[in-house]
Amino acid sequence: MRVAVIFEHLPTSSGWLLIQFENELEETHHLAAGFVLNISHTQLTIGYLLIITQSIKKVLLIFAKEDNQSDGFWWACDRAGYRCNIARTPESALECFLDKHQEIIVIDHRNSRYFDAEDICRSIRATKSSEHTVILAVVPRQFMENSSITACYNELVQIEHGEVRSQFKLRACNAVFTALDHCQEAIEITSEDHVIQYVNPAFERMMGYHKGELIGKELTELPKSDKNCADLLDTINTFIKKGKEWQGVYYARRKSGDSIQQHVKITPVIGQGGSYLMHFKGFWFVFTESHSFKCKNRRKDSIDVKSITSQSSDAPGLQTRRYSSMARIHSMTIEAPITKVINIINAAQENSPITVAEALDRVLEILRTTELYSPQLGTKDEDPHTNDLVGGLMTVSKISKDETTVTNVLHHSSGHSHLSVPNTISDVPPCIAQLLDNEESWDFNIFELEAVTNKRPLVHLGLKIFARFGVSEFLNCSEATLRAWLQVIEANYHSSNSYHNSTHAADVLHATAFFLGKERVKGSLDHLDEVAALIAATIHDVDHPGRTNSFLCNAGSELAVLYNDTAVLESHHTALAFQLTTKDSKCNIFKNIDRNHYRTLRQAIIDMVLATEMTKHFEHVNKFVNSINKPMSEGSNCDCTANIKNFPDNQTLIKRMMIKCADVANPCRPLELCIEWAGRISEEYFAQTDEEKRQGLPVVMPVFDRNTCSIPKSQISFIDYFITDMFDAWDAFAHLPVLMQHLANNYKHWKTLDELKCKSLRLPPENNN
Ligand code: AMP
Ligand code: ZN
């Protein structure tokens, strides 16, 4: 018996492809002997065997006369569970096939007397539904046909597992390609060597080419965008060669010459007989100088960045479709929030009147800058004091005209090991105890405490305040541990600094405790937040060298190197405080709390100390205004503190704002205290300028030169630039009329001095009446 498999689409002369079935193998090895595999095309199909699992159900036998051979197939179908029809004439065969769409057709081709098998084959092939049908022919040979049911059965099974499955696979492929054709993402398939095999209509729309212009072309033949760097192409190739998927942003050039930015995913598809690369091209942006969709008054030199998707074209009337694609873009979770915002604005621009679109252009320009929270100094701010304060407190470093010298300005904690013998709380000398009685008042005089404690106000005030807030109870630690901890921390403040010493820490702790007593603050925070805030205030400037971050960066100090010129001091204060705390069990206030509590507390402390870094000043203030003040002023009588408690992010914003305000509350203290603080900070700045000059370092804040500085001017600038807005916002939340009154008085004081051209802290005695 011989069986022929018909592949009409294969390039054989007759359209028949004959595959021998060897009799001898039938009994012993029938499953493996289905086809003679020396015909290369059949080998191609073998690879798909395992993939298609759908079982065939229908067979059509076209035999003019019933005989052993047709019976053999009939009973083989029966054994295999296939439904079988027999047709006796070409007409009934075609009719039956059109009705049932059998997967296998077996045509009797042994005798041309009854019908022409090739004719039948052609007429069946001419129907659309035969595209995936396997047609076999039984042809005569010098030996007898094989009518054994087993032989017929085996043949059918072989066909099912071979040709029929490959036809299923082809059918599935068609479905896949139909899906690709309808997909809104642009898809391109290239061979391993970058010859384009397929592009979908979305791709044609996106790139402006017809597929006929692309298929068969090598990618290198197409005009490339010069925006991709060589590194990117190397990276892509490395990924692909390893069989890994690559995703990222890639620039391509459209037929019209525009460069477009695409989010591309390239997936290698490794299969038999070669590999393919699938390029999925997601949303994209067009960079065009030549035309834009809408904006007429764009500045010539600005690049017009429009987001479009593969659904869009330059044709009019596609805005709604573009919008739906934009919606897809917005839902992409891998996008950074700022990208989403920009995309939303882009989409809103599409349907907006030109004035709105232009206003949104302005918004986009602002959003694309990285410094969203730092006000840009305009003409009104060209005051040298403001400039210097901003430069000195908010920028990392200044490039020196001279070579920067590397110095180590830090005197690590080695000089502070001598601790005074701990007192018990009842041992507190009466003069100290008496002073501390007034500790809850905003007008509490920290300098008096500094004097009576011999410059150790932090331990005493700390013990009193920590007791008031139940810190020992929360931490489950003894008063002795707490005292030892306060002593270690205080000892690591530099008493030689005129401003950043432990009196400043005590002052910030005092202000923090005062704020925590305010009803709305108390209502918004949990006990853990209170404890974290008090600890953060205590440690927030520990081991401060009396120099600014800019100075340390310019000087290439050890700390600046350690913290990569980023939040150098604040990182150091936090890290050192935790080292000092945990290295000795005697002062480890955290030793008795469980790991989870410790982690939460530690996180809150770190966050607060880092929030005191001035480069983030406007970010913290603006976030507070947007998330706390604004919703509060909009939601009339709602119980806002209960609302805040449910939102840890808002609690974080409040804690940051609280420590920031406590840290620079000195302009809101009673006049005499405010003046003292202004004198101290000025002295510290002067000392820095002196050292910068001595060492040939860049002078970070030239106005703070002891020979020329106007302290009133510097205070006016500091209040105008950093203090007023922040305390307005904090007062609107925490209700602090006393502070705001002091601030107004103090500001007036500095203004008066300035108007009288006085550069010092106070008027000379003769003007003082
Ligand atoms: P901190 O170093 O944590 O105390 O951060 C507060 C910043 O504000 C520091 O850089 C101080 O130098 C600065 N600062 C505080 N009070 C004043 C003031 N009255 N005048 C000028 N700068 C001040
Ligand atoms: Zn501070």
* pLDDT exceeds 70 at position 317: no
In angstroms, the CA 135 to CA 60 distance is 9
**Ligand 1 within 6 A of 709 CB?**
no
Distance 85 CA to ligand 1 centre (A): 95
**Ligand 1 within 6 A of 667 CB?**
yes
Helix spans in 525-666 (H): 527-539, 549-554, 558-562, 568-582, 595-611, 617-624, 630-634, 640-645, 648-663
The CA-based dihedral angle spanning residues 212, 213, 215, 221, taken in that order and rounded to the nearest 10 degrees? 170
Largest CA distance in the chain: 138
- pLDDT tens sequence across 622-641: 999 999 998 888 765 456 67
Length of the chain: 769
- pLDDT tens sequence across 78-114: 988 889 999 999 999 999 999 999 888 988 888 888 8
**Ligand 1 within 6 A of 574 CB?**
no
Give the count of beta carbons closer than 10 Å to the beta carbon of residue 584. 12
In angstroms, the CA 84 to CA 103 distance is 11
Domains of the chain: residue spans and CATH: 2-179 (3.40.50.2300), 185-290 (3.30.450.20), 314-367 (no CATH), 388-396+419-755 (1.10.1300.10)
Mutate to test the pocket of ligand 1, among 574, 609, 663, 727 (most ligand atoms within 8 A of CB): 663
Nearest to 35 by CA among 143, 134, 200, 162: 162
State the catalytic residue, choosing from 109, 263, 279, 500.
Answer: 500
The answer to whether residues 60 and 100 touch, using CB atoms and an 8 Å cutoff, is: yes
Nearest to 762 by CA among 682, 666, 667, 672: 672
**Per-residue pLDDT, 95:** 93
Give the count of beta carbons closer than 10 Å to the beta carbon of residue 194. 13
Kindly report the protein residue whose alpha carbon is nearest to atom 4 of ligand 1: 663
User: For the chain, what is the total number of helices (H) and then of strands (E)?
Assistant: 34, 12
The answer to whether residues 285 and 306 touch, using CB atoms and an 8 Å cutoff, is: yes
Kindly report the protein residue whose alpha carbon is nearest to atom 13 of ligand 1: 664
Question: Where do we find the tokens 């995913």?
Answer: 265
Would you say the pTM of this structure is higher than 0.75?
A: no
Q: Which atom of ligand 1 lies closest to the CA of 500?
A: 4
**Ligand 1 within 6 A of 200 CB?**
no
- pLDDT tens sequence across 543-597: 999 999 999 999 999 999 999 999 999 999 999 999 999 999 999 999 999 999 9
Highest mean pLDDT among 53-57, 63-67, 724-728: 724-728
**Per-residue pLDDT, 56:** 64
* Ramachandran class of 433: left when φ > 0, alpha when ψ lies in -120 to 50, beta otherwise: alpha
**Degrees to nearest 5, angle at CA 615 with 611 and 621:** 60
The answer to whether residues 381 and 387 touch, using CB atoms and an 8 Å cutoff, is: yes
Beta strand residue intervals within 7-66, DSSP E: 17-19, 58-62
**Ligand 1 within 6 A of 681 CB?**
yes
> What pLDDT band is residue 425 in, cutting at 50, 70 and 90?
low
> What pLDDT band is residue 334 in, cutting at 50, 70 and 90?
low
The answer to whether 500 is a known catalytic residue is yes
Kindly report the protein residue whose alpha carbon is nearest to atom 15 of ligand 1: 664
Count CA within 13 A, CB hemisphere, residue 519: 4
Q: What percent of the chain has pLDDT over 70?
A: 77
Looking at residue 70, its amino acid is: S
Beta strand residue intervals within 162-303, DSSP E: 186-191, 196-199, 246-253, 259-271, 274-288
The CA-based dihedral angle spanning residues 505, 508, 509, 515, taken in that order and rounded to the nearest 10 degrees? 180
**Per-residue pLDDT, 615:** 94
> What pLDDT band is residue 768 in, cutting at 50, 70 and 90?
low
Show binding-site residues for Zn(2+).
504, 540-541, 663
Look up residue 734 and give its two tokens.
């925490």
Nearest to 433 by CA among 459, 464, 458: 464
